[in-house]
């Protein structure tokens, strides 16, 4: 599979109501590395095996939630082409170019709002800071890692009303593919979209309100690492949502918890390798409990209805 066009999720910008508490959570509990602070008061983080300067941006605000999610594309020419395609599609609103340097160590970004109401960005440049190890004869991991030790920011799950329009934009304009979906008869309830070889790089659930944030997720190496994350959640007295358990959708092993402001986080491992010729996996709402939580096969009201 040639990795061209949109390469991967590049960053997520989150609002927290207490910046100091948020910094401690994402740094000491999840184990992200702080890489900078800017004049606007935003704090930047990366997971240890990411080479880009940052993948998570926190800012203090009156309410929790997501400001925007950004995707890295392969070059400036692709950025220009996809920006023109998004504009020409008629599916996005609030289109704007944001100049280089507005976000630390990041080139210009093209921002737009998708039909579910979420702000998305495309960018082609972010400074590389490395993963703490040399490119020649490296060790498996660097010393002095903290917390759950995820290797990267992986995906977001978002809630919004116009799921069909958003899926059309991501698939027909940005080149994503639907790896899995949940159907209620002929109506798509949720879509798991990939631009890579992962089961999903972003996912959406149909919901009457626009622009709702369900969770951001970070990848771990193994099921044992998910169990260790559960120990850290208990040890640090973090608010637990559900898990450890397994998803039917994506096959990932997972645990969900909340940051001090109420934003939901996930760490997970596993899942399958996706290639473009793989058939779309379809789940029906009648089996939604098993699709979401494969072990106990029951829906959790808080998981479905708590979002920021």
**Catalytic one among 26, 44, 159, 256?**
256
**Catalytic one among 25, 200, 207, 214?**
200
| Angular region, 207: left φ>0, alpha ψ -120 to 50, beta rest | beta
**Domain residue ranges of the chain, discontinuous segments joined by +:** 6-123, 152-305
Shared fold status for 6-123 and 152-305: yes
Mind listing the pLDDT tens digit for each residue in 273-308? 999 999 999 999 887 778 777 777 777 776 777 789
Beta bridge partners of residue 94, listed in sequence order: none
Element (H, E) at 183: strand 177-184
- The domain over range 6-123 is classified in CATH as 3.30.70.3040: no
**Catalytic one among 54, 105, 118, 155?**
155
Is 200 considered catalytic here? yes
Gap between the Cα atoms of 251 and 260, Å rounded: 28
**Catalytic one among 215, 253, 274, 307?**
215
Element (H, E) at 21: helix 19-24
Gap between the Cα atoms of 290 and 249, Å rounded: 9
Is 77 considered catalytic here? no
State the average pLDDT over residues 224-238: 97
Mind listing the pLDDT tens digit for each residue in 158-168? 999 999 999 99
Q: Model pTM?
A: 0.96
Gap between the Cα atoms of 23 and 234, Å rounded: 19
Is 207 considered catalytic here? no
Is 215 considered catalytic here? yes
CATH class of the domain comprising 152-305: alpha beta
pLDDT value of residue 262: 97
User: Which residue in 153, 247, 155 sits closest to 193, CA to CA?
Assistant: 155
DSSP-assigned letters across all residues of 188-212: EEEEEEESSSSS-SEEEEE-SSSSE
**Catalytic one among 247, 253, 274, 307?**
247
pLDDT band at 2 (very low <50, low <70, confident <90, very high): low
């Amino acid at each position: 599979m040639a990795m061209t066009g949109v390469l991967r999720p590049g960053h997520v910008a989150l609002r927290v109501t207490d910046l100091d508490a948020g910094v401690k959570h994402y740094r000491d509990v999840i184990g992200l590395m702080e890489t900078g602070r800017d004049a606007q008061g935003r704090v930047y983080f990366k997971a240890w095996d990411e080479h880009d300067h940052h993948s998570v941006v926190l800012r203090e605000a009156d309410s929790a939630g997501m400001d925007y999610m950004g995707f890295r594309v392969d070059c400036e020419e692709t950025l220009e082409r996809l920006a023109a395609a998004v504009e020409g599609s008629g599916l996005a609103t609030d289109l704007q170019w944001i100049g280089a340097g507005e976000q630390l160590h990041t080139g210009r970004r093209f921002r737009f709002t998708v039909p579910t109401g979420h702000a998305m960005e495309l960018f082609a440049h972010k400074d590389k800071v490395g993963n703490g190890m040399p490119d020649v004869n490296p060790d498996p991991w660097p010393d002095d890692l903290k917390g759950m030790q995820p290797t990267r920011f992986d995906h977001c799950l978002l809630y919004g009303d116009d799921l069909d329009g958003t899926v059309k934009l991501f698939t027909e304009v940005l080149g994503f593919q639907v790896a899995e979906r949940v159907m209620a008869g002929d109506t798509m309830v949720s879509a798991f979209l990939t631009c890579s070889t992962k089961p999903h790089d972003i996912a959406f659930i149909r919901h009457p309100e626009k622009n709702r944030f369900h969770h951001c997720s970070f990848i771990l190496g193994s099921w044992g690492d998910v169990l260790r994350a559960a120990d850290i959640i208990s040890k640090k007295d973090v608010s637990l949502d559900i898990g450890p358990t397994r998803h039917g959708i994506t096959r990932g092993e997972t645990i969900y918890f909340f940051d001090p402001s109420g934003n939901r986080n996930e760490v997970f491992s596993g899942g399958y390798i996706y290639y473009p010729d793989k058939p779309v996996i379809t789940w029906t709402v009648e089996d939604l409990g098993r699709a979401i939580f494969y072990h106990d096969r029951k829906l959790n009201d808080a998981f479905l209805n708590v979002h920021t």
